[in-house]
């Protein structure tokens, strides 16, 4: 992509100001790397504009339409940066009492021309702008890290038709905070959180059932429990991050490592195949009914699981006695149940 315009504004919500930074030509290399990284990032969510007259999208359209008018272009870019400042000040006011801070950084904006697709794209990225010591004169300076993990938020707006009534964007956020997409960008999700939660969980279950359940493995139970715990215990899901955290270092019991690797790869492909976002805020109530599982234990006895089990490996243990009898040992924190089955010593 060709960089037509680029802007950097330090967003200083503590001093309630923005600081525009001049950009030397050498900085284009960083911007190009940033664009490539964001463009290839799979941990994004699809959004659409709420209205083409809201500040960010109307500004991006105007910059694209009047790209040769430097004064208008700079004015619109500054207006967008000021909007982010205003929304960060508001957000900090809401979360400050919780001893939480809006992540500090700078806003990078760029108008890009996709020569292959013959269209314009508008980039917005909130990146960490940190202090470092210059090893030449040992003075304190601020700058950008080349580590792409310091990209807090990003948005790529497709400006294929400047006269369209609705525009589409791919948005990334490293937290569940919605002020970036909702308050600042004023965009709406293409797929709701409820739909993303249900679609993704059902798709994961299908892969596990197809690849493990028929074998009656402990791996199926442990991995499924891991996903349930993740859905129930998080307010924000980055799908690849979740999959890798559960399966990346998983040590199988009944199958080999190659089988787990294959399952992991199949699950990572699910968003594209099943039509759900890579990032969403899980709504656990929509999967509560799917979580419940009942297992036959003995004639007249069933084990019913209704939620994620913490430390499942040490909570429910199956073993075989010396005479060949099979048993389940279940940890209990219910005193009444314990007393009802207690064997006198």
Q: What is the pLDDT of residues 10-36, one digit of tens each?
A: 998 888 999 988 887 777 888 888 888
Could you report the per-residue pLDDT of 230-285, keeping only the tens digit for each?
999 999 999 999 999 999 999 999 899 999 999 999 999 999 999 999 999 999 89
Tokens 């359940």 -> residue: 213
**In angstroms, rounded to a whole number, what is the distance separating the alpha carbons of residues 79 and 59?**
8
158 and 177 within one domain: yes
DSSP SS3 for 144: strand
217 and 172 within one domain: no
The total domain count for the chain is 2
The answer to whether 208 and 184 have CB atoms below 8 angstroms apart is no
Could you report the per-residue pLDDT of 45-81, keeping only the tens digit for each?
899 999 999 999 999 999 999 999 999 999 999 999 9
Question: pLDDT class for 152, splitting at 50, 70, 90?
Answer: confident
Of 141, 164, 189, the last residue of a domain is 189
**In angstroms, rounded to a whole number, what is the distance separating the alpha carbons of residues 171 and 117?**
20
In a domain, 87, yes or no: yes
179 and 87 within one domain: yes
Tokens 């991995």 -> residue: 223
96 and 133 within one domain: yes
Of 290, 309, 335, the last residue of a domain is 290
221 and 184 within one domain: no
Question: pLDDT class for 126, splitting at 50, 70, 90?
Answer: very high
**In angstroms, rounded to a whole number, what is the distance separating the alpha carbons of residues 47 and 178?**
12
CB neighbour class for 41 (10 Å; exposed up to 12, middle 13-18, buried from 19):
middle
Within 13 A of 83's CA, how many CA atoms are on the CB side? 21
208 and 167 within one domain: no
278 and 174 within one domain: no
In a domain, 58, yes or no: yes
Of 241, 259, 290, the last residue of a domain is 290
What is the pTM assigned to this prediction? 0.77
| Full domain range(s) for residue 22 | 2-189
277 and 238 within one domain: yes
Could you report the per-residue pLDDT of 221-230, keeping only the tens digit for each?
999 999 999 9
Q: How many residues does the chain have?
A: 345
DSSP SS3 for 25: helix
């Amino acid at each position: 992509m060709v960089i037509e315009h680029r802007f950097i504004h330090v967003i200083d919500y503590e001093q309630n100001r923005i600081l525009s930074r001049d950009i030397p030509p050498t900085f284009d290399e960083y911007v190009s790397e940033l664009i490539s990284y964001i463009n290839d990032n799979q941990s994004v969510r699809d959004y659409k504009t709420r209205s083409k007259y809201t500040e960010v999208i109307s500004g991006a359209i105007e910059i694209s339409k009047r790209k040769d008018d430097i004064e208008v272009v700079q004015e619109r870019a500054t207006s967008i940066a000021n909007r982010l400042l205003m929304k960060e000040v508001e957000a900090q006011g809401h979360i400050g009492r919780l001893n939480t801070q809006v992540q500090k950084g700078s806003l990078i904006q760029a108008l890009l021309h996709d020569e292959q697709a013959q269209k314009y794209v508008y980039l917005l990225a909130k990146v960490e702008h940190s202090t470092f010591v210059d090893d030449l004169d040992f003075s304190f300076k601020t700058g950008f890290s080349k580590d792409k993990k310091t990209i807090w938020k990003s948005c790529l707006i497709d400006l294929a038709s400047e006269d369209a009534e609705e525009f589409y964007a791919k948005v990334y956020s490293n937290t569940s905070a919605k002020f970036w997409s909702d308050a600042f960008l004023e965009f709406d999700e293409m797929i709701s959180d409820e739909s993303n939660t249900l679609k993704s969980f059902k798709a994961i279950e299908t892969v596990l059932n197809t690849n493990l359940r028929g074998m009656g493995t402990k791996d199926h139970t442990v991995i499924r429990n891991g996903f349930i715990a993740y859905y129930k215990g998080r307010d924000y899901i980055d799908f690849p991050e979740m999959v890798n955290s559960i399966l990346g270092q998983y040590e199988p019991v009944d199958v080999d490592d190659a089988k787990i690797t294959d399952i992991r790869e199949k699950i990572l492909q699910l968003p594209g195949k099943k039509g759900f976002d890579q990032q969403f805020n899980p709504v656990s109530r929509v999967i509560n009914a799917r979580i419940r599982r009942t297992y036959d234990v003995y004639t007249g006895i069933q084990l019913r699981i209704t939620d994620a089990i913490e430390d499942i490996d040490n909570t429910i243990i199956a073993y075989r006695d010396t005479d060949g009898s099979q048993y389940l040992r279940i940890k209990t924190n219910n005193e009444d149940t314990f007393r009802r089955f207690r064997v006198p010593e």
